[in-house]
Structure 1
Amino acid sequence: MSIVNQKVWIMGCGDIGRRVARLYQNEGTKAIGWVRSEESLHKGLEQGIAMRKGDVDRGSYFSIFALDEALVYWFMPPQPTGDTDDRIRRFLKGVDAAPQRVVLISTTGVYGDCDGRWIDETEPLKPVAARAKRRTDAENTVQEWAARFGGEIVILRVPGIYAPDRLPLERLKRGEPVLTEAEAPWTNRIHADDLAMVCKRAMEAAPAGAIYNATDGHPSSMTDYFNQVADYAGLPRPPQISMSEAQAAMSAGMLSYLQESRRIRNDKLLTELNIRLQYPSLTAGLGMLKG
Structure 2
Amino acid sequence: MNLFVFGLGYTAGHFVARERARFASVTATRQAPAEVDGVAMRVFSPDEADPRIAGDLARADAILVSIPPDSGGDPALGSYAEAIAGGPARWIGYLSTIGVYGDQCGAWIDEATLPAPTHQRTRDRVAAEESWLALGARTGKAVQVFRLSGIYGPGRNAFEKLRQGKAQRIVKAGQVFNRIHVDDIATTLAASLARPRPGAIYNVTDDEPAPPQDVTAFAADLAGLPLPPAVDFDTASLSPMARSFYGENKRVRNRLIREELGVRLAYPTYREGLRGLV
TM-score by length of 1: 0.85
CA distance in 1, matches of 2:98, 2:23: 33
Aligned twin of 2:32: 37
CA distance in 1, matches of 2:32, 2:134: 29
Aligned twin of 2:275: 287
Residue 149 of structure 1 and its aligned partner are, at CA, apart by 2.2
CA distance in 2, matches of 1:284, 1:23: 20
CA distance in 2, matches of 1:151, 1:175: 44
Residue 233 of structure 1 and its aligned partner are, at CA, apart by 3.1
Provide the aligned length of Structure 1 versus Structure 2. Answer: 273
SS of alignment partner, residue 14 of structure 2: helix
SS of alignment partner, residue 270 of structure 1: helix
Q: Are 1:223 and 2:213 an aligned pair?
A: yes
Aligned twin of 1:112: 102
Aligned AA (1:157): R
Instruction: List alignment gaps of at least 5 residues for structure 2.
Output: none
Aligned twin of 1:177: 168
Match of 1:243 among 220, 233, 245: 233
Gap change, CA 1:206 and 1:150, over 3 Å in 2: closer
Residue 62 of structure 1 and its aligned partner are, at CA, apart by 5.9
C-alpha contact 2:181 2:267 (8 A) present in aligned 1: yes
Gap change, CA 1:139 and 1:231, over 3 Å in 2: same
Gap change, CA 1:274 and 1:176, over 3 Å in 2: closer
Gap change, CA 1:228 and 1:209, over 3 Å in 2: same
Aligned twin of 1:130: 120
Aligned AA (1:8): L
**Superposed CA offset, 1:13-37 (max 9, x none):** 1222222223333346432222223
C-alpha contact 2:30 2:45 (8 A) present in aligned 1: no
CA distance in 2, matches of 1:196, 1:175: 28
SS of alignment partner, residue 283 of structure 1: helix
Instruction: List alignment gaps of at least 5 residues for structure 1.
Output: 1-5
Residue 86 of structure 1 and its aligned partner are, at CA, apart by 3.5
Q: Are 1:53 and 2:53 an aligned pair?
A: no
C-alpha contact 2:111 2:201 (8 A) present in aligned 1: yes
CA distance in 2, matches of 1:62, 1:51: 11
Gap change, CA 1:169 and 1:35, over 3 Å in 2: same
Residue 197 of structure 1 and its aligned partner are, at CA, apart by 1.6
Gap change, CA 1:145 and 1:186, over 3 Å in 2: same
Match of 1:256 among 244, 247, 251: 244
C-alpha contact 1:184 1:222 (8 A) present in aligned 2: no
**Superposed CA offset, 1:244-282 (max 9, x none):** 313xx2211111011111111101110100111111111
Tell which deviates more after alignment, 92-101 or 186-195. Answer: 92-101
SS of alignment partner, residue 220 of structure 1: coil
Aligned twin of 1:19: 14
Cα root mean square deviation, aligned: 2.2
Gap change, CA 1:185 and 1:117, over 3 Å in 2: same
Aligned AA (1:127): P
* Residues 119-198 of structure 1: pairs in structure 2 closer than 5 A: 119-169=109-159, 171-172=161-162, 173-174=164-165, 177-180=168-171, 183=173, 185-198=175-188
Residue 184 of structure 1 and its aligned partner are, at CA, apart by 5.3
CA distance in 1, matches of 2:53, 2:242: 39
